[in-house]
Amino acid sequence: MKSTIENTREATYEIDSVFLKRWSPRSFLEKDIPDAVLFSVFEAARWAPSANNFQPWRFIIARTQEDRELFHSFILPGNLAWCKKAPAFALLISKKTSDNGENRYHSFDAGTAWGYLALEATKKGLVTHAMGGFDREIAREALQIPEDFELQCVIAIGYQGEKEVLPENLQEREKPNTRRPLSETISEGKFNQTLL
């Protein structure tokens, strides 16, 4: 029986519900994702805004058992404890250079592509969890990534599983978290000038 996770997130101002539904679970079902559904999340990422339209982001995906095990070789143990059941992984990388030299916005653009991917995944009934906890040098070598790409994050993609299958210390964390008030995020005119 699937456990129910209560989502108590509330927006101060009206927004699309997808923003409140998206969170980063750790429990995944061992259930394959149909190609049309999986590739739709990358299609959404493809349309993210990009400085000078350089589109520096790339995704290296792992769907087969062999490819997932290769990803397991560089995911740190703390993350591997919960993400092993995910049916798909993506390593998000970004090209640090363009035809004009250094691309100072590659990380910013890659982050935007990740956001688009995460929101489309939520709309398609999938869950995603981005991880910074992986060995970048092992990943670079294992996946043969050129030096002019920065490794950003590993993303676990799949269907949400029951929290009870997680290690006990993670079960209590398996719920949507909150955000600080908008009044602590926006300043008007100058830094730290109260707006709301």
Domain boundaries, the chain: 25-176
Q: How far apart are CA 65 and CA 70, in angstroms?
A: 9
Give me 155's structure tokens. 């993303």
Q: Which CATH architecture has domain 25-176?
A: 3-Layer(aba) Sandwich (3.40)
- By the 8 A CB rule, do 63 and 88 touch? yes
pTM reported for the whole predicted model: 0.94
pLDDT at 10 over 60: yes
Report the C-alpha gap between 87 and 31 in whole angstroms: 6
Mean pLDDT of the chain: 94
User: Cα(98)–Cα(148) distance, rounded to whole angstroms?
Assistant: 10
Q: What are phi and psi of 60, to 5 degrees?
A: -105, 120
Nearest to 42 by CA among 59, 65, 21: 59
pLDDT digits (tens, 9 = 90+) for 87-132: 999 999 999 998 889 999 999 999 999 999 999 999 999 999 999 9
Q: Whole-angstrom Cα distance, residue 4 to residue 190? A: 43
Pairing mode, strands 101-102 and 127-131: unpaired
pLDDT tens digits, 44-99 = 999 999 999 999 999 999 999 999 999 999 999 999 999 999 999 999 999 999 88
Residue 159 and residue 28 in contact, taking contact as beta carbons nearer than 8 Å: yes
Q: How far apart are the C-alpha atoms of 56 and 108, rounded to whole Å? A: 10
* Residue 55 DSSP label: -
Taking the CA atoms of 24, 116, 73 and 134 in sequence, report the sign of the dihedral they define. negative
